[in-house]
């Protein structure tokens, strides 16, 4: 309902980036609509009085980024129940509830995701280096609000979020499969028995550790791999089919919704309704690239999803027929 109230007031959806800082999550704009006016005022002051690193949520200790928000913590997740999380030596507000990036595979630093309801609002201090973008409206969700996932849950890792964490609920595997093979199935294959990653991969960083930052690992998920599948950060050599997909130093993430609920996750649709989605939902062919965006000349971001019923629920404008779930 907060998203709908925000749209009624501002005539657009909350976006990534706010004021002079391109790094803040949509949660910041939503704060006044979830009875957090004081917190919003603190964030607004920090963001608009500074530029660049001084305004970046990861670069300062202002109260805006700290202090628990209990409504962002899922009671079933033991990690967020433990309270504040530390990132780079600072304590930050965790969240289990995150925003959809749709069925699109794209690198950090390329925020203009045309498959996601939550667009990037460019910051004056960052110029055009972030690929442009603008806030969306409900009108761009042409597949229908009742057919499009806007939010879901993701488990948080404990502690710093930088330590090795072997559990799929909260950990992110660092995967380097080699050029031309960074498909969703590669990430899915990192699962071992008992809900952990295989010993041959390194689980690094954590998700949901910071509500204020727009980086995908903190406040986003993809509708590509099924619910409760492994999460992966993929860095590879130059990809043979799509040269810009997976260049060394550019991280692409597969971040499915995760939870401690048996058999699936809870998602929020664009019309405000809540649904439980089974982890066995049809996800199409995971042995090929999903929709992706790397640059204006290397992209596949229009048309129907490649990820079955699950992907159709995540794409806001793919043109798929209405699905039952």
In the chain, where the domains are located: 2-314
CA neighbours closer than 13 Å in the CB half-sphere of residue 264: 12
Q: Are 325 and 226 in contact (CB under 8 A)?
A: no
Identify which has the larger pLDDT, 162 or 107: 107
Q: Are 215 and 23 in contact (CB under 8 A)?
A: yes
Instruction: In whole angstroms, give the CA distance from residue 2 to residue 22.
Output: 22
Q: Are 216 and 111 in contact (CB under 8 A)?
A: no
Select from 225, 235, 297 the least CA-distant residue to 257.
Answer: 225
Q: Which pTM does this prediction carry?
A: 0.87
pLDDT at 261 (0 to 100): 92
What pLDDT digit, counting tens, does each position of 119-155 carry? 877 655 444 444 456 788 999 999 999 999 999 999 8
Mean pLDDT of the chain: 78
Asked if residue 38 has pLDDT above 80, the reply is yes
pLDDT at 167 (0 to 100): 83
Instruction: In whole angstroms, give the CA distance from residue 220 to residue 207.
Output: 9
Confidence of residue 49 (pLDDT cuts 50, 70, 90): low
pLDDT at 194 (0 to 100): 83
Confidence of residue 235 (pLDDT cuts 50, 70, 90): low
For residue 62, give every residue at least 6 positions away whose Cβ sits within 8 Å of its Cβ, in sequence order, or none.
Answer: 42, 43, 46
Q: Are 119 and 133 in contact (CB under 8 A)?
A: yes
Identify which has the larger pLDDT, 264 or 65: 264
Q: How far is CA 15 from CA 10, 23, 41, 213, 324, in A?
A: 11, 11, 18, 12, 29
Question: Based on the number of CB atoms within 10 Å of its own CB, is 212 exposed (0-12), middle (13-18) or buried (19 or more)?
Answer: buried
pLDDT at 15 (0 to 100): 84
pLDDT at 302 (0 to 100): 87
What is residue 119's DSSP assignment? Answer: -
For residue 309, give every residue at least 6 positions away whose Cβ sits within 8 Å of its Cβ, in sequence order, or none.
Answer: 281, 282, 283, 323, 325
Identify which has the larger pLDDT, 11 or 75: 11
Asked if residue 168 has pLDDT above 70, the reply is yes
Asked if residue 270 has pLDDT above 60, the reply is yes
pLDDT at 126 (0 to 100): 46
Tokens of 65: 């980024």
Average pLDDT over residues 156-175: 73
pLDDT at 124 (0 to 100): 52
pLDDT at 206 (0 to 100): 65
pLDDT at 81 (0 to 100): 56
Average pLDDT over residues 27-56: 76
């Amino acid at each position: 309902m907060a998203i709908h109230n925000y749209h009624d007031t501002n005539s657009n959806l909350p976006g990534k980036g706010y004021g002079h800082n391109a790094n803040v999550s949509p949660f910041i704009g939503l704060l006044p609509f979830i009875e957090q006016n004081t917190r919003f005022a603190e964030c607004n002051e920090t963001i608009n009085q500074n530029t660049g690193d001084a305004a970046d949520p990861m670069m300062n200790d202002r109260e805006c980024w700290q202090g628990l928000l209990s409504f962002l913590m899922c009671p079933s997740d033991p990690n967020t129940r433990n309270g504040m999380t530390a990132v780079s030596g600072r304590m930050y507000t965790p969240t289990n509830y995150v925003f959809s990036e749709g069925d699109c595979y794209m690198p950090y630093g390329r925020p203009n995701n045309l498959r996601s309801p939550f667009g990037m609002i460019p910051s004056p201090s960052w110029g055009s280096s972030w690929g442009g973008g603008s806030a969306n409206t409900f009108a761009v969700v042409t597949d229908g609000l009742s057919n499009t996932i806007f939010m879901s849950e993701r488990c948080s890792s404990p502690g710093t979020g930088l330590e090795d964490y072997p559990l799929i609920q909260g950990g992110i595997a660092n995967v380097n499969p080699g050029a031309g093979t960074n498909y969703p199935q590669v990430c899915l294959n990192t699962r071992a028995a008992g809900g952990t990653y295989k010993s041959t991969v390194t689980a690094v960083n954590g998700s949901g550790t910071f509500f204020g930052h727009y980086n995908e690992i903190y406040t986003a998920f993809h509708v590509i791999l099924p619910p409760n599948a492994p999460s992966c950060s993929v860095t590879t050599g130059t990809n043979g089919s799509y040269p810009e997909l997976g260049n060394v130093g550019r991280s692409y993430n597969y971040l499915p919704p995760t939870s401690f609920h048996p058999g699936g996750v809870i998602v929020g649709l664009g019309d405000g309704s809540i649904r439980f989605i089974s982890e066995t939902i049809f996800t199409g062919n995971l042995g090929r690239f999903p929709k992706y965006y790397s640059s204006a000349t290397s992209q596949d971001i229009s048309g129907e999803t490649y990820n079955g019923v699950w992907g159709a629920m995540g794409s806001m404008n793919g043109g798929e027929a209405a699905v039952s779930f």
